[in-house]
Amino acid sequence: MQDIVIKTDKLTKKFGDFIATNQISMEVYKGEIFGFLGANGAGKTTAMKMLCGLSIPSSGSATVAGFDVYTQREAIKKSIGYMSQKFSLYEDLTVIENIEFFGGIYGLNRKALKEKSAKLIEQLGLQPEAAKLVGALPLGWKQKLAFSVAILHEPKIVFLDEPTGGVDPVTRRQFWDLIYDAADRGITVFVTTHYMDEAEYCNRISMMVDGFIKALDSPANLKKQFNVPSMDEVFFELARGAQRKAD
């Protein structure tokens, strides 16, 4: 039996009459790369917000890293890392300053921070750039740095919201190497993406359509289930029944 780090049971979020997330139930295991897929407007962001402790569910239950999403949101925030599609480091701060800032707001002490940032810069091979402003780095590097910063405090789970938007396939592949490294270290990776080749890299994926989870399994099983050769077609099969229009 694997350790469960995220568990939801009929988790629902309503905005007035609109049900953004409709009774989703799932389990995510420790060290797993979990792909969270769905068309725009399917309810991915809403679900992710609830799991990150930013939004209170309307009904249902969920725990993240063992903490309740209703009552222990502060504890959840300490146990997770987050990186979004929008590139999110400060461009007018240097590499070192960014690392120290984000480490600092997660409460890492000065000494630990110094060690960690030195190690991180070495791992990424960024020594010559350490004192440069982040704005001067190429996009691929920025994203790798952003990801490393998101897991600097060694969270149990890292949420990645379309992390590879706008980068070339080679850089994307390198980025996924980092994700695999993190998963090997026992960090659960919860990732949303629109790239179906990336969906193939995940251990398991869930597909959201109109607020429901329509499918949840490994990419190989899903392809078998729908009897199609690629994840692209699985996605298409599921998403074409959608009623909601993406906005």
How many residues make contact with another protein (CB under 8 A)? 33
194 near 166, Cβ under 8 Å? no
- Give the CA radius of gyration of the chain: 18
Q: According to CB under 8 A, which residues from 105 to 124 bind another protein?
A: 105-107, 109
Measure CA of the first residue to CA of the last residue in the chain; give whole Å. Answer: 41
For residues 157 and 5, the answer to whether their CB atoms sit within 8 Å is yes
Identified binder of another protein from the candidate list 54, 118, 130, 228, rule CB under 8 A? 54
Binder among 61, 68, 101, 228 for another protein (CB under 8 A):
101
Exactly one of 36, 69, 95, 100 binds another protein (CB under 8 A); which one? 100
Euclidean distance between CA atoms 82 and 45, whole angstroms: 13
Residue 52 found at the interface with another protein (CB under 8 A): yes
Stretch that binds another protein, among 57-65, 83-91, 123-131, 216-224 (CB under 8 A): 83-91
State the minimum distance, in angstroms, from the CB of residue 44 to another protein.
11
Q: Which residues pair with 63 in a beta bridge?
A: 7, 68
If binding is defined by CB under 8 A, does position 247 make contact with another protein?
no
70 binds another protein (CB under 8 A): no
Q: Does 88 bind another protein (CB under 8 A)?
A: yes
Q: Give me the residue label for tokens 């992390």.
A: 163
- State the residue for tokens 């600097």: 152
The phi-psi region of residue 39 (left if phi > 0; otherwise alpha if psi is between -120 and 50; otherwise beta) is beta
Catalog residues that contact another protein under the rule CB under 8 A.
Answer: 45, 49, 52-55, 74, 77-78, 80, 82-93, 97, 100-102, 104-107, 109, 150, 159
